[in-house]
Amino acid sequence: MGIPTSIESDLTGIAGDQRADIPASPYFFLIHRPLERGSWDLVNEGMEEPTWVPAFAPFLLQAGAAGVRTLEKGDRAELAWSAAIQRLRDQGQFILPMDTTVPADLCPEGVAPGSLVRSTEVRGGGKRWHTAFEKIERGLGGKVSMVTDRSAWNRFRAWLVAEGKVSHPMPAVLRDYKEQLGERLVATQRDENLSDSAKASREQRYSTRGEQAAKAVIPTKSEAAPKRKAAS
């Protein structure tokens, strides 16, 4: 091997593939289950006041899983998931449309507006599909992971509700959330196995969350979701 002509060429020769060293993952839809416990999150980060936002879970488009079909040659791509998605809808679940986009003023810092679901090529081959609110970060020891910008994600979810893209929560779901907090507070107060400091910490946490839940707002169009602050 010859002597490299520059540090840059040396690094290129050694490192070569600059793609992310994380596992590939299939494309996914984001689904919201409005009839289930825990279908709404109480958030503060990125918001001006405690706010209810819809919880979402990924539905992976992986052949053979959850009713997703294996395509035959010549089949249209949507045939792989159309029946599975319709079954979810029949069960009362809400699926964010595939063409959902993120406006520029709701994107995380440095992220371009566009599709909600995006992909990153990975070193082992294939793609890692993720939302616009997730980014790759390298930690100690070179460990690579996907990290979510919680503030931006919260603001986007509030925007979905304010724009009418996601319906308001059922009162029973919010009532159940508040009742769970009350039950956890009582259970903590009665737990004789906790140290005084641990009990005080939990009591404070559940009390604070209960107060926030009592005054939390549901985003509306007249109360637009707060946008990302411009860099000063």
User: Would you write out the chain's pLDDT as a tens digit for each of its 232 residues?
Assistant: 333 333 333 333 334 456 777 888 888 889 999 999 999 999 999 999 999 999 999 888 765 555 554 444 544 455 555 677 777 777 888 988 888 999 999 999 999 999 999 988 888 788 888 999 998 887 777 777 889 999 999 999 999 999 999 999 999 999 999 999 999 999 999 998 999 999 999 999 999 999 999 999 999 875 544 555 444 4
Number of compact structural domains in the chain: 1
CB contact at 8 A, 150 and 45: yes
Give the total residue count for the chain: 232
Domain-embedded: residue 110: yes
Whether 175 is in a domain gets the answer yes
Instruction: Assess contact for 213 and 178: CB atoms under 8 A.
Output: yes
Helix-strand-coil split of the chain, %, nearest 5: 35, 20, 45
Produce one character per residue of 114-149: b if its CB has 16 or more CB atoms within 10 Å, e if not.
eebbbebebeeeebbbbbbbbbeeeeeeeeeeeeeb
Residue 57 forms part of a structural domain:
yes
**Does any domain span residue 3?**
no
Identify the sign of the CA torsion 9, 13, 18, 21.
negative
Question: Measured between alpha carbons, how far is 64 from 29 in angstroms, rounded to an integer?
Answer: 16
Range(s) of the domain holding residue 93: 12-215
pLDDT at 85: 75
In a domain, 6, yes or no: no
Structure confidence at residue 16 (pLDDT): 45
The pLDDT value recorded for residue 144 is 78
Q: Which amino acid is at 157?
A: R
Does residue 226 lie within any of the structural domains? no
- pLDDT score at 126: 86
pLDDT of 116: 95
Q: Are 162 and 225 in contact (CB under 8 A)?
A: yes
Distances (CA, A) of 36 to 66, 91, 95: 19, 11, 15
100 in any annotated domain: yes
